[in-house]
Amino acid sequence: MGYTEKQESLVSSSYESFKQNLSGNSVFFYTIILEKAPAAKDLFSFLKGSAGVQDSPKLQAHAGKVFGLVSDAAGQLRATGTVVLGDATLGAIHIQKGVVDPHFVVVKEALLKTIKEASGDKWSDELSTAWEVAYDALATAIKKAMT
């Protein structure tokens, strides 16, 4: 079975919950990434050299973009069964920053934990799987653009 309307709506409603506390959720997201991959800190221009994760408009904007793109990927999967990168430069940016395949697993785990935190008692396995499938499809498209 393809990506369902139910899955798309689970993603879009929890994305709304995520945005309601963009600051807190963004800090949570980065904190988990840096716990799992401390060296990744220096990849981010806005975290490099700082002690720990400092909340800032830039940090929120970047984290918000990642969740927004995954939510958009869920819409694409539902509508067309596939994900096309809207931004053709995403592959090159990630290569240039030194991002490697295992990083995508780290970011996925952090994203799923953040969504669990953000959705509170609305969280379910089904909701988590809906995010995971959309993330995997988007990550595959980015990795393809990186080759």
Q: Does 133 bind ligand HEM (CB under 6 A)?
A: no
User: From the list ligand HEM, ligand ISQ, none, which binds 85 (C-beta under 5 to 8 Å, kind-based)?
Assistant: none
Single residue of 11, 99, 112, 137 touching ligand HEM by CB under 6 A: 99
**Residue 27 parent element (H or E):** helix 22-36
Q: Does 115 bind ligand HEM (CB under 6 A)?
A: no
Q: Does 45 bind ligand HEM (CB under 6 A)?
A: yes
Interface segment toward ligand ISQ; rule CB under 6 A; list 3-11, 61-69, 77-85, 139-147: 61-69
User: From the list ligand HEM, ligand ISQ, none, which binds 145 (C-beta under 5 to 8 Å, kind-based)?
Assistant: none
Q: Does 62 bind ligand ISQ (CB under 6 A)?
A: yes
8 Å CB contact between 142 and 85: yes
